[in-house]
Amino acid sequence: MCVKALLLVACLLVWTAVFSRTAANELGEVPAGGFRSPEGDRRFSAEAGVKPLNNLVFELLNIRSPGSSKHNFRNLRDGWVYIRISRKVDDRPAAVILADKQLTLKMVDDHFEAMRYVTAGEHSVAIARGSGPVNRLEVHAIGELFHATYGGNPHVPEIGVYTWDFLRRDCLDHCNSIIGSNSLSPDGKSTQEAEIKQ
């Protein structure tokens, strides 16, 4: 019993030392030249003109004081991008013009953000009128962020059910893809047709 207690204390001391050293080295900072992993996608490398932030997120554009002019970025595959602007938070809505369409951004903490699926190739983004002065405009290539599976509920009844209202309130802001049901109604439409349209 005493040996087990000593081993536990020794493990805690080692863990504390490692954690303190990691915290001192500012875990989370992007190393010079960007993040690189041996299994990484070469399309998303510094040589390809993007800045790898980790093995899932790649910076395509980062403009300080972007003004109202268009800024170009290149998406290297058909896929999701995350758009973020930083500005002094006030009551005004924030929006960008992406592919000549206005995209309203949602306020999250002290910035505004949105995700959109875009094709591979060149795209332009600009701050929309009425958004106020913007400190920074960022565009990142990101992966698919799934909710699985819509229509399935927890096995613990006390948690409740995963209704569409629940997902809209608590989940959908953090997802860009949903795995749903493929069942059809008698008229041949998806049973989740209304949710798909939303």
- Residue 194 and residue 58: Cα distance in Å, rounded? 33
Domain housing 178: 146-197
Assigned domain for 33 exists = no
Q: Which of 102, 122, 142 is the last residue of a domain?
A: 142
CATH number of the domain residue 60 falls in:
2.60.120
Shared domain check, 46 and 138: yes
Selected residue with higher pLDDT from 72 and 150? 72
Shared domain check, 84 and 49: yes
Is the pLDDT at 38 greater than 50? The verdict is no
Assigned domain for 4 exists = no
Assigned domain for 7 exists = no
Assigned domain for 132 exists = yes
Which of the four pLDDT bands, split at 50, 70 and 90, describes residue 61? very high
Q: Which of 95, 112, 142 is the last residue of a domain?
A: 142
Shared domain check, 123 and 83: yes
Shared domain check, 136 and 85: yes
- Selection from 69, 127, 120, 131 nearest residue 98 by Cα: 127
CB 126 within 8 A of CB 71: yes
Shared domain check, 137 and 58: yes
Shared domain check, 51 and 129: yes
| Range 104-116 average pLDDT | 92
Is the pLDDT at 45 greater than 90? The verdict is no
Q: Which of 124, 142, 160 is the last residue of a domain?
A: 142
Assigned domain for 91 exists = yes
Assigned domain for 3 exists = no
The tally of domains found in the chain comes to 2
Which of the four pLDDT bands, split at 50, 70 and 90, describes residue 128? very high
| Range 152-158 average pLDDT | 85
**Dihedral angle sign, alpha carbons of residues 132, 133, 136, 138:** positive
Using CA atoms, how far residue 150 sits from 1, 165, 174, in Å, is 49, 12, 15
Shared domain check, 138 and 46: yes
115: region left, alpha or beta (phi > 0 left; psi from -120 to 50 alpha): beta
Distance of CA 182 to the CA centre of its chain: 26
121-142 burial: b if 16+ Cβ within 10 Å, else e: eebebbbbeebeebeebbbbbb
